[in-house]
Amino acid sequence: DTGVSQNPRHKITKRGQNVTFRCDPISEHNRLYWYRQTLGQGPEFLTYFQNEAQLEKSRLLSDRFSAERPKGSFSTLEIQRTEQGDSAMYLCASSYWARGNEKLFFGSGTQLSVL
């Protein structure tokens, strides 16, 4: 396994369109996280899953955003009716979570540009 994989690497879309991103975590990891990063900022938490259960969602995650992890393996993040403010790098991370082992391993991200 070569790490966390994200597709696509880049996405350009017009305002109002829907987009979907995919993340394949490291295979033995039970947790999967989505973060968003804008220029000059650190990654900001959006949501995370333990296996297929979505355990927490940030208030940053508006109703236009939805994430799924149907079989506890890969995850998708969908943004409906995109807005220019959605332009950002969307990062996926995974971990084998245990208390005292909070290490997250990130993918290369999907860079979204909304025109």
Partner 1 sequence: GQQLNQSPQSMFIQEGEDVSMNCTSSSIFNTWLWYKQEPGEGPVLLIALYKAGELTSNGRLTAQFGITRKDSFLNISASIPSDVGIYFCAGPQGGSEKLVFGKGTKLTVNP
Which residues contribute to the site for partner 1 (CB under 8 A)? 4, 6, 33, 40-45, 48, 55-56, 91, 93, 97, 100, 102-109, 111
If the CB atoms of residues 109 and 112 are measured against partner 1, the closer one turns out to be 109
Instruction: Report the alpha-carbon distance of residue 90 to residue 35 in Å, rounded.
Output: 6
Give the nearest distance from C-beta 102 to partner 1 in angstroms.
5
If the CB atoms of residues 45 and 74 are measured against partner 1, the closer one turns out to be 45
The answer for residues whose C-beta is within 8 angstroms of residue 90's C-beta and 6 or more apart is: 6, 21, 34, 35, 36, 37, 77, 109, 110, 111, 112
